[in-house]
Amino acid sequence: MKYDSQSIEKKWQDYWYSRDFFQAEDFGEKPKYYALVEFPYPSGTGMHVGHFRAYTSLEVVSRKRRMEGYNVLFPIGFDAFGLPTENYAMQKGVHPRKVTDENIETFTEQIKRTGFSFDFSRVVDTTDPDYYKWTQWIFLKMFEHDLAYRDKTKVNFCPDCRVVLSNEESQGGECDRCGSTVEKKEKDVWFLRITKYAERLLEGLDDLEPLPRIKTEQENWIGKSEGAEILFPVEGTEERLKVFTTRSDTLFGATFMVVAPEHPFIDKLAERISNMDEIRAYRKKAEQKSEMERTDETREKEGIKIEGVHALHPFTKEKLPIFVADYVMMDYGTGAIMAVPGHDERDHAFAKKYGLAIKEVIAGGDVDKEAYTDVEEGILVNSDFLDGLSVKEAIRKMNARLEEEELGGAAVSYKMKDWAFNRQRYWGEPIPIVHCEQCGMQGVKEEDLPVRLPDLERFEPNREGESPLANIESFVRTTCPTCGGEARRETDTMPQWAGSSWYFLRYVDPKNDTELANYHKLKYWLGVDWYNGGMEHVTRHVIYSRFWHQFLYDIGVVPTKEPFKKRTAQGLILGSDGDKMSKSKGNVVDPAEIIETHGADTLRLYILFIGDYEQSTPWNDNGLKGCRRFLEKVWRLREKVGADKDEKAVETLLHKTIAGVDEDIEETKFNTAIAKLMTFANEAAKAEGITKDTFRTFLKLLNPFAPHIAEELNERLGHREPLVKSSWPDVDESLLEEERVTIVFSVNGKVRDKMEVAKDTDKAELESMALANERVKKFTEGKKIVKVVVVPGRLVNVVAK
RNA sequence: GCGGGUGUGGCGGAACUGGCAGACGCGCUAGAUUUAGGAUCUAGUUCUUCGGAGUGCAGGUUCAAAUCCUGUCACCCGCACCA
């Protein structure tokens, strides 16, 4: 009978899904295992092969864990708020709710047709009021703990459309919709005080088991740098200009100061500044510059001297000119720097351009020519009480001295900024805040959650750059939860990151309507044992969820400090032309189509066999066919079943395969695991016959990868117990050892001959065998044998001159 | 610029702790089967002047290097005037 993947797959999917085989059991007796994959954004185009690559890995792990006797939680859900749905709704006039529901249905169907063993009884949808009620609840708690606050920022604003644009919508300073030049508009927006958690987010990385690069990426994002803050008095005023520096040792080399254009110090001293007009013009120019322009490192650094004010060196009392320059950023450090041209390259270039003094305070280079930045060798000079010290010692001494004299002291700065947490859009969680003229900003009462999104006909933002919600009087008008007076609702919604920052907690207890999840259930299931997702999410998404989790831990809602124990990331699947898949290039592979033509098992297998799991790799239709051929070969393999006893070679190989497949799965080396299954199938096909037990063991190994065909063959073999309920095979260590091994004979490191010998042949014996070997003799002829290296079980190397 | 990663046949990729480079798959070649094609099976497939040479390139350590060290080039990812 032919291998009919379509009917087999349908049959087993019905069987599994109708019997709840994949439902996780709360407080089950078995050891728990929580495998988590990033939930998808249900777009209208259906699932992408990237989704499949992300899910098949932990799908294999989950199926293996169940066979190993674990109580596995392997959930799925939908991160369904977001711009694409809203834009689609705007264009077509269909409500985002309807679009979302349809897309979720399509995704669910595609997932089921692949045979994934998700627990479908725990599906979450971030746009469901029963879900976003808790997203809002967490926000309220953060608001109560002063972690959510409002502040002004500059947003991208299109003067023609009169809407606020995201960075993606305003690339190159032009509005995505109408092409007008985007303006920067000052606006009150919401921030989450993630910087308060910077140190803990850094520390917690030690408990995560990530790939080294994931860890360094998170460290870079947090961007901790240790240095000092120093106060510079401003001559003739009470003002003191605060700078952050990592090189407080070079303080005596500071010859001027630079402040960011936005620095409030400029406004404070406006009256004393004689060239304020010039500075205002420069400011305006800097403001119009896009981030890209301002951060273009090839651009010559330029600035403007502030006339009329000087800073004073805290120790020497020397007058230091102050410049404004846009290469200093307001949101890093203190927005002001002391410039040490002798020992900083940027400051050096700046000093040369404006003819400023360059002072050497660390001996070792020629500071007239270039900045000397070495911190290992240099010795302090021209630095009063620091002379003769190394850089390290000088920093320590200077920081202590600064503290003593109340001029500053050691300080830490983080690159990470607070998290801008709102959008002027409809399709997101409403921020549960009420503005009352009497009481100010008030959180909505817990019992009034969720603040539901009102039904809308039109989704365009209003003309002042506010969210479409601002147009709905019935939504906006409310009463103050504190004084009961008239009040207005906040109309901004949360960004897409919100719902995805805690979804893995909800899977644990998805239907709970009195708390986000029951504490005892969380205690049973957390932490997530293995979390897999895209490389592009390993910084932001993982940091954001860790931040929320740490906060929830602090207020006693979750029992673990960190949410995830292990994080991996799959590489991209490129189009067969080696380019990123995109509609415009026409190189997109549609997984739904592949399932129809080749079958789900073939797709599952190929997507893991395609290459190194963490590396990006191009799609290849022929490779896909190869996987289908392998399954057909396995299908025919059952004709070999019936031997009473296995050939010794088959038996050994089987156990090697068990050990190898097991290890490879744990190390995310799925491609080699599949290669090992192929090797076994090839050998078994060559044997006279194989036993029924051996074939069943092989099917168990295949089962996590290609469960439909494995179940079908298992059943046809006459086994009553389905593989989904069977146990993972054990390795018989005694069978792994082969009795005979191949020894390589080499001369001067070059292989000259090979020989099969008994495994336990000793060193002396191997050496004499090698020296007696004809080929070895030929290559050592006329030479003197200097040395013989014997590695038992592997090789003999004869060194001859 | 800084940090991380990767470089191996025609292609995707293997190679434990330094010990037979190229597993497995694709593609290709020849043969069998077939009216033919497809499918399947068998054999072969790094290059080669048959001495050898060969893991981006140039050195080094070692009896032995894809693997360790130094330098260098290319590509990818992240961050980026970070004080």
User: What is the distance in angstroms between the CA of the first residue and the CA of the last residue of chain A?
Assistant: 65
Angstrom distances, CA of residue A338 to CA of A299, A317, A485:
21, 14, 52
| Least confident range of A337-351, A406-420, A687-701, A786-800 | A786-800
A414 CA: nearest nucleotide by C1'? B82
A264 CA from B2 C1′ (Å):
30
Residue numbers in A 255-284, CB below 7 Å of strand B: 260
A408 touches strand B (CB under 7 A): no
> Is pLDDT above 70 for A455?
yes
Q: Is there a cis peptide before residue A527, judged by omega within 30 degrees of 0?
A: yes
Q: HSE of A328 in the Cβ direction (CA atoms, 13 Å)?
A: 27
Q: Which part of chain A is CATH 3.10.20.590? A: 738-800
What is the token pair recorded at A480? Answer: 């103050």
Query: Which of these, A390, A388, A354, A348, lies nearest to A370 by C-alpha position?
Result: A348
Say if CB A490 and CB A484 are below 8 A apart.
Answer: no
Q: Within 7 Å: CB of A221 and strand B?
A: yes
Average pLDDT value for residue range A563-579: 87
Closest Cα partner for A36 from A495, A725, A503, A499?
Answer: A503
Q: Is the CB of A767 under 7 A from strand B?
A: no
A738-800 has which CATH code?
3.10.20.590
C-alpha torsion angle, residues A648, A650, A653, A658 (rounded to 10): -110
A227 Cβ within 7 A of any nucleic strand B atom: yes
Nucleotide with the nearest C1' to A615 CA: B6
A190-204, A297-311, A496-510, A710-724: the lowest-pLDDT one: A297-311
Residue A480 CA, distance from chain mean position = 40
Task: For residues A139 and A441, give the distance between their C-alpha atoms in angstroms, rounded to a whole number.
Answer: 14
Q: Which residues pair with A132 in a beta bridge?
A: none
Say if CB A63 and CB A121 are below 8 A apart: no
Find the angle CA(A540)-CA(A546)-CA(A550) to the nearest 5 degrees: 145
Q: Are the C-beta atoms of residues A19 and A514 closer than 8 Å to each other?
A: no
- What is the structure's pLDDT at A103? 94
Q: Is the pLDDT of residue A312 over 80?
A: yes
CA dist A630 and A627 (Å) reads 5
Computed over every residue of chain A, the mean pLDDT equals: 88
pLDDT attached to residue A56: 94
A480 neighbors A491 (Cβ within 8 angstroms): no
Please give the backbone phi and psi of residue A385, each rounded to the nearest 5 degrees, phi first: -75, 0
Nearest nt (C1') from A614 Cα: B5
Strands A163-165, A408-414: pairing kind? unpaired
CA A670 to C1' B6, whole Å = 19
Which residues 466-495 of chain A have a CB under 7 Å from nucleic chain B? none
Asked whether A648 and A20 are in contact (CB, 8 A), the reply is no
Q: A783 beta carbon < 7 A from strand B?
A: no
Average pLDDT (A412-418) is 87
Q: Would you state the pLDDT for residue A695? A: 94
Q: What angle separates helix A648-666 from helix A692-702, to the nearest 10 degrees?
A: 20
Topology of A224-414 in CATH?
Answer: Isoleucyl-tRNA Synthetase; domain 2 (3.90.740)
ipTM of predicted assembly, 2 dp: 0.92
Among A163, A187, A190, A193, residue whose Cα is nearest residue A175: A163
User: CA-based diameter of chain A, in Å?
Assistant: 108
Report if CB A677 to strand B is under 7 Å: no
> Looking at residue A293, what is its pLDDT?
61
CA separation, residue A142 to residues A137, A423, A729 (Å): 9, 18, 49
Question: Facing residues of A436 across strands?
Answer: A440, A487
Residue with CA nearest B42 C1'? A686
Whole-angstrom distance, CA of residue A432 vs CA of residue A421: 13
Å: A643 CA to B46 C1': 40
With a 7 Å cutoff on the CB, does A616 touch strand B?
A: yes
Query: Where in chain A do CATH 3.90.740.10 domains reside?
Result: 224-414
Closest by alpha carbon to A522, among A8, A11, A27? A27
pLDDT at A419 over 80: yes
Find the Å distance, CA of residue A580 to C1' of nucleotide B73.
25
Q: Does residue A746 lie within 7 Å of nucleic acid chain B, judged by its CB? A: yes
Per-residue pLDDT reduced to its tens digit, A176-232: 666 677 777 777 889 999 999 998 988 888 777 666 677 777 888 888 888 899 999
Give strand B nucleotides closer than 7 A to any protein Cβ. Answer: 1, 3-6, 11-15, 19-21, 23-27, 39-42, 53, 63-65, 76-83
pLDDT in tens, A41-98: 998 888 989 999 999 999 999 999 999 999 999 999 999 998 888 888 888 888 899 9
Instruction: Quick: pLDDT tens for A638-696.
Output: 888 888 888 888 898 999 999 999 999 999 999 999 999 999 999 998 888 899 999 99
Q: Could you read off the pLDDT of A726-765 as tens digits, one per residue? A: 999 999 888 777 677 788 888 888 888 888 787 777 888 8
Q: Cβ within 7 Å of strand B: which of A 290-319?
A: 294-297, 299, 301
